[in-house]
Amino acid sequence: MEKVVPKNKLLHKILYHKCLLFFMIFIVVFVVSIFMGRYKMSIADYKNVFFNLHKFLLGETIEDPSILILYKVRLPRILLASFVGAGLSISGLVFQQVFKNPIASPDILGVTAGASFGAALGIILPWQFPGIVQICAFIFGILAVSIAYGLKKASKDNNILYLVLSGIIVSAFFSALLSMVKYFADPYQQLPSIVFWSMGGLYRANWINAIGTGIVVIPSIFIINSLRFKLKMLSLNDDMAKTMGMEVSKFRNYILCLVSFVVCFCVSISGTISWISLIVPHITRIILGYKNKYIYLITSLIGATTLILFDDIARTISTTEIPVGILTAAIGAPVLGYLLIFKKTI
């Protein structure tokens, strides 16, 4: 008679409470960030903001600067940082699992290179309208991924190595186009704008960008979490996954297209914010291990919390805002070195 093994309820409770703990940390960081900024606000200002919330929701005219700063600057910016951090982090985790490589990131398919070229093109176009830079960045980010898949399909080989090589080709091509755009750009106005955009930042935050990013990122997180069992199978040998009835190539293409879409949207709004998608998955695995059902949700929470903290530093450390992409690279590189040497997680 087969022995019935009871479920480990204690382990389940520990993991559940750990997920709840990271959610509480995220909420605390989110709330504290509202009070941070170069514009000093008193307790009376915050009370005034709270009691006038209904006016903002009803779209009434507001002239109080403290209300405008909180509702139109800080809140949408913090929300945008949350969604972008969560989207980049969970995308990095998926890329690392799909490619079975702990240093894989969304850049591997040319997403960032394509989006950067699109943004630069949007900056130098003769006709300008609100959102043209973001639209161009998104279109060319998707185009870069499509070309990478087209090259891989043309090779008529399902080996994932061909997809990686296609991504390298696409990245090199769009990087060359970006350099060409920089060469022909106006050195006094357009070139500084291109360079500043490539550094990454959340200074474009508004309610439209924040809500739009949330609409893309939040459903994607739950879709990826619902596919965690298939992603775990995908981390196995391809032949073993096929014997378990999984269409490896089809599922891999689907999940990579999904996370590439998320990354394209985030990069089109925030610019190039490096290292978040590479470092946060490693931190999550150190805390949780490799096997648990909450790894995708907690990775998203840690990513959101991390980018909010980086953005808090970027907008308060000096009188002028520092591009958050510089901070993530400056801090992320030493962290990766620490993980490599001392934690042996890479």
pLDDT digits (tens, 9 = 90+) for 146-199: 999 888 888 777 777 888 889 899 999 999 999 999 999 988 888 988 988 888
Q: How far is CA 238 from CA 92, 234, 248, 340, in A?
A: 21, 7, 7, 27
Mean per-residue pLDDT, 327-344:
79
Query: In angstroms, how far apart are the furthest CA atoms of the chain?
Result: 80
The amino acid present at 21, given as its one-letter code, is L
Q: Yes or no: say if 93 and 295 are a contact pair by the CB < 8 Å rule.
A: yes
pLDDT of residue 60: 67
What one-character-per-residue DSSP string does 312-331 give?
HHHHHSSSSPPPHHHHHHHH
Q: Is the pLDDT at 2 greater than 50, yes or no? A: no
Q: Yes or no: say if 285 and 155 are a contact pair by the CB < 8 Å rule.
A: no
pLDDT of residue 78: 94
Dist CA 49 CA 67 (whole Å): 5
Q: Is the pLDDT at 5 greater than 70, yes or no? A: no
Q: Yes or no: say if 280 and 302 are a contact pair by the CB < 8 Å rule.
A: yes
Place of tokens 């894989």: 104
pLDDT of residue 1: 38
For the record, the structure tokens of 237 come out as 């040998």
CA atoms within 13 A on the CB side of 178: 25
Task: Name the class of domain 9-343.
Answer: mainly alpha
Q: Is the pLDDT at 75 greater than 50, yes or no? A: yes
Mean per-residue pLDDT, 77-102:
91
Q: How confident is the model at residue 204 (pLDDT cuts 50, 70, 90)?
A: confident
% of the chain surpassing 70 pLDDT:
88
Q: How far from the centroid of its chain's Cα atoms is residue 44's Cα?
A: 36
Dist CA 108 CA 232 (whole Å): 20
Place of tokens 């891999």: 252
The amino acid present at 302, given as its one-letter code, is I
Q: How confident is the model at residue 3 (pLDDT cuts 50, 70, 90)?
A: very low
pLDDT of residue 117: 93
Q: How confident is the model at residue 305 (pLDDT cuts 50, 70, 90)?
A: very high
% of the chain surpassing 90 pLDDT:
30
- Compute the mean pLDDT over every residue in the chain, rounded to the nearest whole number: 84
pLDDT in tens, 208-236: 999 999 999 999 999 999 988 888 887 77
Q: Report the alpha-carbon angle 117-155-229, nearest 5.
A: 80
Torsion of CA 174, 180, 185, 191, to 10 degrees: 60
pTM above 0.75, yes or no: yes
pLDDT of residue 76: 93
Beta-strand runs (E) in 99-202:
none
Smallest CA-to-CA distance from 210 within 300, 76, 82, 27 is with: 76
pLDDT of residue 55: 67
Mean per-residue pLDDT, 250-260:
88
- Between 337 and 311, the higher pLDDT residue: 311
Number of DSSP helices (H) and strands (E) in the chain, helices first:
16, 0
DSSP state of 73: I
